[in-house]
Structure 1
């Protein structure tokens, strides 16, 4: 009989995009794969099924704070686990790791793995401090990790800072040799082919992320104003959606105001991210969010673009300062503008540093290599 593995995530699109190669490898090794998702539409469910996995939908509020709803989600997951009796349960993102792992333990699963893909908002420092609500969420999250981590056979992180800030600094007990550093999730590099920047074009900068303070959107806009005042022909593009429910999000009015000034171009939601990067000279992500390793930066590097990003956990995993771009202190608009202007004043560095980005991406971000490492960590 085939061994069974449960993959417990949240959105179907994320599970497909970030676990596609893992699912294919497990199916090829003879595993029966079950993909559990709580946010979905028919398109993404079909895409997952095409990989050879069975899909199970369950209810979970990703950002909800009602513990009774979370317990209901855990009991629903426990019922599915008892029904299908998987040999391994592999959960990722905060709530699935907590409630999926507890459900697996209560259902008697012997091999339980959790992946922490960045510490997220509760561990993100803001220039004016955290709200009381965020501090409370962090307290409860750490308290739940204290319950869950001791039952995990493997706790996988994407960067070396996260286990220090989460486990070591909070003195969270875990099994011996459970903590592993995977590195970036990786990309299918065929989807992001290298393309040298056309130096006959006007120098342009691109920001790709949700339009949140934590992602550095305000610093990007302020730096763009400074650069534009000195180099009016510099071009700035922003790609990413508004998150109107997030208290730290850019508002629709703020976005409309900055677009009307002509400082940035905002095409809205796009499906051709690779093409947008290829048409830009430099990738900029002044994020101070607790990333795992930002995917958009990996995409830009694979295509061959220099990167300006912050010297914070996750982001710093992508740039060798002065080699394939620049690391700047978080919240430092003046230095961000200065590094942007460096590329305007030294345009020959765009393709030189961009090629260094490409080489790093080939070495570190190839999903096939990452997948081999992940399978080895999980003893599959």
Structure 2
């Protein structure tokens, strides 16, 4: 079978779709990839799938190019990830020989978090699209809430994209005298950076052997980003270790104890949480779709005030409880989110007739 995988960005393609493609190839399939602006020395096909700016002419041009790719590469099955890719997949289905098509919803984004006028319009458009698309695409969501919110009753749920887990652990001898909290992500208000910093500020008033590690960066093109002035304040805050963007997170996860994930952004199942589970971190997150599936007895889901509930929980933690949480997190990762569990589920939908 010749399978085409479409992503919105080259980095996501490499990190999340190449491993799935390799798994499919091990089972005798040929996998072709397409995304916007691939690296020149890669074999990835260029397909303009902008996640931010989609004009009518750009959309038509991309649909026509996708149709040509499918024909020239003799594609049997098209698998698309994220909204714009799914849009192209849907419109391409009206042309050429009928193919198997899968559209994967990797989260509903910020549009489904607040009910501003703009977001209500976006919610209507997205819901209408997926209810049309389900007639021509097999719909896969990465958490059950997304299907419910879209009113789709016959879709599939696969929890996340699947990762292999730690390549190695304990790269550095952890300082057992310090409790290390971790925040990972762009420094956006919707991602919860302000709440995470407020947590360490409150904890530092009572215990200076607690530290917050921040692996993230300002997004200057995003109006939701914190300011440069706020970033400078973060850098000089007591108990904060600011790393900016980190390419390889292995060492950072290895020396962390607790993930703070106060995001309200609607992801499928946040990759950061899955990676943290694989390293045995305690998880503190909000009661959000995709996050709910990641916490059992290995942390807490905050219901109201993230900062207060996180501080109260952290202050009750003992070494024994942190150790117990570690085992629970690793077990949860292995049974629900590992690529050994997730890839066969994608393969079954993609390959089965």
The alpha-carbon distance between structure 1 residues 155 and 196, as it changes in their structure 2 partners (threshold 3 A), is farther
The alpha-carbon distance between structure 1 residues 268 and 195, as it changes in their structure 2 partners (threshold 3 A), is closer
Q: Which runs of 5+ in 1 are unaligned?
A: 50-54, 169-173
- Matching residue within 312, 316, 319 for 2:288: 312
- Measured in 2, the distance between the counterparts of 1:64 and 1:273 equals 30
Are 1:332 and 2:289 an aligned pair? no
Q: Deviations over 1:16-36 (max 9, x none)?
A: 211223211322333222101
Are 1:240 and 2:216 an aligned pair? yes
- Measured in 2, the distance between the counterparts of 1:183 and 1:119 equals 14
Q: Give the TM-score taking structure 1 as reference length.
A: 0.86
Name the counterpart of 2:104.
115
- How far 1:194 sits from its partner (Å)? 7.6
Name the counterpart of 1:360.
332
- Measured in 2, the distance between the counterparts of 1:20 and 1:193 equals 23
- Matching residue within 110, 126, 133 for 1:141: 126
Are 1:161 and 2:139 an aligned pair? no
- Measured in 1, the distance between the counterparts of 2:139 and 2:181 equals 37
- How far 1:232 sits from its partner (Å)? 2.7
- Measured in 1, the distance between the counterparts of 2:55 and 2:183 equals 35
How large is the RMSD of aligned CA atoms in angstroms?
2.2
- How far 1:9 sits from its partner (Å)? 1.0
Contact 1:89/1:109, CA 8 A, preserved across alignment: no
Contact 2:47/2:66, CA 8 A, preserved across alignment: yes
Contact 1:195/1:303, CA 8 A, preserved across alignment: no
- Measured in 2, the distance between the counterparts of 1:197 and 1:135 equals 49
Aligned length: 352
Q: Give the TM-score taking structure 2 as reference length.
A: 0.92
Contact 1:277/1:283, CA 8 A, preserved across alignment: no
Name the counterpart of 1:63.
52
Q: Which runs of 5+ in 2 are unaligned?
A: none
Contact 1:156/1:180, CA 8 A, preserved across alignment: yes
- How far 1:365 sits from its partner (Å)? 2.0
Name the counterpart of 2:199.
223
Name the counterpart of 2:255.
279
Q: Deviations over 1:140-186 (max 9, x none)?
A: 3333333322211x211111111001124xxxxx8xx4x11112322
Higher helix fraction: Structure 1 or Structure 2? 1
